[in-house]
């Protein structure tokens, strides 16, 4: 899709920035000026949020790691689902990870899978191993996906810890995408 100088800017119908683990009283504005909402008692969390997860603060802040969304996390010992009400269409989904120690949980032992509307996005994923595999050592990372939401007006994102492990996430971003921006005919497939 070519955009000329006179084309109007795209305004997303869905725009969610979730600062996972941030307290209700926190001012969650990132360094780039974007306003984030906490997932504490959030409408996006499922009924089992108290028993399946807890919040924690990162054990340290590396030099180039921003406060929001990286310094707080939601930790999962069991399967946990965020449910985002969205419009029908393709969604841009980004996860933010800062793999350090959280409340005695060492990031080197964190392995988990993530699905979005039954599409497997990450399998037995380790944010720590992903970062150690790259030549340049950034302290944080994000994983980005395009996820279709054509059959429902809901985006269900489920974190499932691997056996004898745990999962975590620092932030979740959900943004609707312009129709036919990246794919000519939108269907029910997923890409990363």
Say if 182 falls within a structural domain.
Answer: no
| Res. 179: pLDDT tops 90 | no
Give the N- to C-terminal CA distance of the chain in Å, as an integer.
Answer: 19
pLDDT mean over 54-60: 93
Q: Using DSSP, state whether 130 is helix, strand or coil.
A: helix
**If we measure between CA atoms, which residue out of 85, 91, 69 comes closest to residue 18?**
69
User: Number of H helices and number of E strands within the chain?
Assistant: 3, 12
pLDDT digits (tens, 9 = 90+) for 89-104: 999 999 999 999 999 8
Per-residue pLDDT, 141? 94
Say if 66 falls within a structural domain.
Answer: yes
Say if 99 falls within a structural domain.
Answer: yes
Domain that holds residue 113: 15-176
**Strand ranges for the chain from DSSP E:** 15-19, 37-38, 53-57, 72-76, 80-85, 89-97, 112-116, 119-125, 141-149, 154-161, 167-169, 171-176
User: Is 147 within 8 Å of 157 (Cβ atoms)?
Assistant: no
Say if 1 falls within a structural domain.
Answer: no
Looking at the 3D structure of the chain, how many domains does it have?
A: 1
Per-residue pLDDT, 19? 96
Supply the DSSP symbol for 179.
T
pTM listed for this prediction: 0.89
pLDDT mean over 50-54: 79
Say if 161 falls within a structural domain.
Answer: yes
Say if 134 falls within a structural domain.
Answer: yes
| Res. 1: pLDDT tops 50 | no
Range in 137-151, 157-171, 176-190 with the lowest mean pLDDT? 176-190
Say if 149 falls within a structural domain.
Answer: yes
| Res. 136: pLDDT tops 90 | no
| Res. 137: pLDDT tops 80 | no
CATH number, domain with residue 56:
2.60.120.430
Say if 96 falls within a structural domain.
Answer: yes
User: Is 59 within 8 Å of 9 (Cβ atoms)?
Assistant: no
């Amino acid at each position: 899709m070519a955009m000329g100088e006179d084309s109007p800017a795209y305004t997303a119908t869905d725009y969610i920035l979730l600062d996972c683990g941030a307290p209700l009283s926190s001012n969650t504005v990132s360094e780039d000026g974007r306003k984030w909402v906490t997932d504490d008692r959030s409408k996006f969390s499922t009924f089992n949020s108290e028993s399946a997860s807890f919040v924690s603060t990162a054990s340290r802040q590396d030099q180039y790691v921003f406060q929001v969304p990286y310094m707080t996390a939601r930790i999962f010992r069991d399967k946990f689902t965020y449910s985002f009400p969205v419009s029908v269409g393709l969604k841009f989904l980004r996860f933010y990870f800062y793999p350090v120690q959280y409340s005695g949980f060492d990031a080197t032992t964190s392995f988990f899978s993530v699905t979005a509307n039954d599409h497997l996005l990450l399998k037995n994923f380790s944010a720590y191993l992903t970062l150690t595999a790259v030549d340049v050592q950034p302290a944080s990372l994000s994983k980005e996906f395009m996820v279709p939401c054509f059959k429902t007006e809901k985006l269900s994102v489920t974190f499932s810890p691997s056996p004898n492990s745990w999962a975590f996430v620092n932030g979740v971003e959900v943004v609707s995408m312009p129709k036919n921006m990246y794919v000519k005919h939108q269907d029910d497939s997923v890409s990363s």
